[in-house]
């Protein structure tokens, strides 16, 4: 049966990314076939949709790093037809066909059954960005840092990771400092739970190896000089969860925050996250995330507007989360 998909093909000129019609026999190997109903637009998706991304490691490639839907057929004993499932990570849109298609065939070992209390659309409103935010919160908790130790900083605050992180942390009693370059988003961020807005310019210029101790923890999706400054201003014994590189892959810092203040830099990976931690993160998301706030940070678009949304997210013109209604 034919279905629509957004596919990247390799050409002599580079990459050709467009809507195509595919047949089920063109799907990749896997023991579960999913009828996809929803996906999302993450920053990584924006890069892939641009046709200039290096994240795609094989061609042709169906794009979309997130998907939600229901099982259409299964050779995996853990999944039965009709069950609602979600999938993020595991190389979707890089090495395995992703969620920008009306059908996907994947390994059942990658799938998570839709947590009780969440709809498929809500799961994609969370998506990789929200999942990454929850992994960051878990890393802060694992380090033993709590709201009583001081405020928490969230950089890239108006983005998908930042918006979800603010909501999660505020719900847990943290005083949240939101760093953003968009002053017009202050009300939006405060409605999510931010107590203070910090101009990102204060973190984006080269700083000292150690600065004044400001926050006990941080969730950083920017990287580069911003992350260096975040580390330099983290309080003694604090923890910084690094989960993105919107500002660059480099890290121009010193060992000073680590050996003089005992700061922990926790790396967050959502792609190959072990299933046990993955299930714990989704369990916590289903119980901890305020649904009203989730709705406030989410917009839903039809499948046909995916390319436009990808352009906007790369330009920094979006906020929160973008859900794609596939079909």
Q: Encode pLDDT of 223-240 as tens digits.
A: 999 999 999 999 999 999
Domain regions of the chain by residue span = 3-114+297-325, 129-267
Task: State the average pLDDT over residues 72-97.
Answer: 97
Average pLDDT, the chain: 97
Task: State the average pLDDT over residues 210-217.
Answer: 98
From the list 34, 4, 215, 210, the residue with the least C-alpha distance to 114 is 34
Residue 59 confidence (pLDDT): 96
Beta-carbon count within 10 A of 167 CB = 26
- Portion of the chain with pLDDT greater than 90, in percent: 96
Q: Is 238 exposed, middle or buried (0-12, 13-18, 19+ CB in 10 A)?
A: buried
Residue 13 confidence (pLDDT): 87
pLDDT band at 243 (very low <50, low <70, confident <90, very high): very high
Q: List pLDDT tens digits, range 278-298.
A: 999 999 999 999 999 999 999
Beta-carbon count within 10 A of 41 CB = 31
Asked if the model's pLDDT at residue 1 lies above 90, the reply is no
Right CATH number for 3-114+297-325 from 3.20.20.70, 3.40.190.10, 3.65.10.10, 3.90.180.10?
A: 3.90.180.10
Q: Are 268 and 241 in contact (CB under 8 A)?
A: yes
Task: State the average pLDDT over residues 23-46.
Answer: 97
Residue 54 confidence (pLDDT): 84
pLDDT band at 52 (very low <50, low <70, confident <90, very high): confident
pLDDT band at 180 (very low <50, low <70, confident <90, very high): very high
Q: Which two tokens stand for residue 213?
A: 């101790």
Residue 282 confidence (pLDDT): 98
The CATH fold assigned to 129-267 is Rossmann fold (3.40.50)
């Amino acid at each position: 049966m034919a279905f629509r998909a957004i596919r990247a093909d390799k050409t002599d000129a580079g990459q050709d990314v467009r809507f195509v019609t595919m047949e089920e026999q063109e799907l990749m190997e896997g023991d579960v076939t999913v009828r996809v109903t929803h996906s999302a637009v993450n920053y990584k998706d924006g890069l892939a949709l641009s046709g200039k991304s290096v994240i795609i490691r094989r061609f042709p490639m169906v794009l979309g790093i997130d998907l939600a839907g229901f099982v259409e057929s299964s050779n995996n004993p853990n999944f039965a037809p009709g069950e609602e499932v979600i999938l993020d990570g595991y190389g979707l849109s890089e090495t395995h066909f992703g969620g920008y298609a009306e059908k996907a065939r994947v390994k059942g070992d990658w799938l998570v059954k839709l947590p009780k209390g969440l709809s498929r659309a809500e799961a994609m409103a969370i998506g990789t960005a929200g999942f990454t935010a929850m992994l960051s919160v878990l890393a802060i908790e694992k380090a033993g840092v709590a709201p009583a130790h001081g405020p928490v900083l969230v950089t890239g605050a108006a983005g998908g990771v930042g918006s979800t992180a603010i909501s999660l942390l505020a719900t847990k009693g943290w005083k949240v400092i939101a760093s953003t370059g968009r002053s017009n988003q202050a009300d939006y961020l405060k409605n999510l739970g931010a107590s203070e807005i910090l101009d990102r310019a204060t973190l984006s210029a080269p700083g000292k190896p150690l600065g004044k101790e400001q926050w006990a923890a941080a969730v950083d999706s920017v990287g580069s000089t911003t992350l260096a400054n975040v580390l330099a201003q983290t309080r003694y014994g604090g923890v910084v969860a690094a989960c993105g590189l919107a500002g660059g892959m480099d890290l121009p810092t010193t060992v000073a925050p680590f050996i003089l203040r005992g700061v922990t830099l926790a790396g967050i990976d959502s792609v190959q996250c072990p299933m046990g931690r993955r299930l714990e993160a989704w369990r916590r998301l289903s119980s901890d995330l305020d649904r009203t706030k989730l709705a406030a940070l989410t917009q839903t678009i039809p499948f046909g507007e995916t390319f436009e949304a990808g352009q906007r997210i790369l330009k920094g013109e979006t906020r929160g989360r973008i859900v794609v209604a596939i079909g």
